[in-house]
């Protein structure tokens, strides 16, 4: 049976479900306690919400099943309430030793992303965040959300946009959607005593 998929902008009531999607997608519970995983998911989602100018949430059976966020870099201004939420969620994460260790590891990922971006020509758009509930994959949600983001970029007269991804994600999806890999870097990450090698990528899309 085909599921009915409905798209709309992000609403605050979506937050809890989307935090769980973030937590499951990147498997936070694999390297930290459930309490820290919850705080990390909230802080990460808050950081993404503070870094966008466009959102679309996919609903399946009236429940959030995926989200995409895009940013017009030239017009981005973070509202006060989103800055405040990011600050509070970050303080909560940093309130424990485990939280500080995880924060440090993710700060290293951000450093690598900045390094990749510094080697590219400036962009005027970014795909700031993209995630789909693992139980709802394969029914077209990802493609629908991606196409809506592309439409938004086009209406904003954005000539090219980029995104960061890595080997923990299904980065092949972006290649199927017409994005091109421009930069990559291998790095061994250590989180809570666990060491794992990742490859980080920067993809872009040009109109």
Residue 157: predicted pLDDT: 96
DSSP annotation of 123: -
What is the helix (H) or strand (E) element at residue 52, kind and residue range? none
Closest CA to 130 of 55, 43, 38, 24: 55
Residue 195: predicted pLDDT: 74
Residue 193: predicted pLDDT: 67
Per-residue pLDDT 10s for the chain (207 aa) are: 467 899 999 999 999 999 999 999 998 998 899 999 999 999 999 999 999 999 999 999 899 999 999 999 999 999 999 999 999 999 999 999 999 999 998 899 999 999 999 999 999 999 999 999 999 988 999 999 999 999 999 999 999 999 999 998 889 999 999 999 999 999 887 766 677 788 999 999 999
DSSP annotation of 121: -
Residue 95: predicted pLDDT: 97
Closest CA to 45 of 67, 61, 63: 67
Rg of the chain (C-alpha set): 17
DSSP annotation of 2: P
Beta strands in the chain (DSSP E): 5-8, 54-60, 63-72, 125-132, 160-166, 180-191, 194-206
Residue 2: predicted pLDDT: 65
pTM, to two decimals? 0.92
């Amino acid at each position: 049976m085909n599921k009915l998929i409905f798209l709309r902008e992000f609403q605050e009531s979506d937050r809890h479900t989307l935090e769980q999607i973030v937590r499951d997608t990147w498997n936070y519970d694999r390297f930290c306690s459930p309490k820290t995983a919850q705080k990390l998911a909230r802080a990460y989602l808050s950081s993404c919400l503070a870094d966008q100018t466009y959102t679309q949430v996919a609903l399946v059976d009236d429940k959030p099943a995926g989200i995409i966020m895009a940013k017009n870099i030239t017009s981005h201004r973070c509202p006060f309430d989103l800055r405040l939420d990011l600050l509070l969620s970050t303080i909560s994460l940093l309130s424990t030793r485990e939280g500080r260790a995880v924060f440090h590891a993710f700060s290293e990922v951000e450093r690598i992303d900045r390094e990749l971006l510094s080697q590219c020509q400036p962009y005027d758009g970014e795909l700031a965040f993209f995630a789909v509930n693992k139980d709802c994959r394969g029914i077209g949600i990802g493609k629908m959300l991606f196409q809506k983001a592309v439409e938004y970029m086009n209406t904003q007269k954005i000539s090219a946009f980029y995104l960061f991804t890595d080997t923990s994600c299904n980065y092949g999806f972006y290649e199927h959607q017409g994005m091109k890999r421009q930069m990559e870097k291998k790095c061994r990450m250590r989180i809570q005593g666990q060491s794992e090698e990742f490859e980080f990528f920067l993809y872009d899309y040009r109109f």
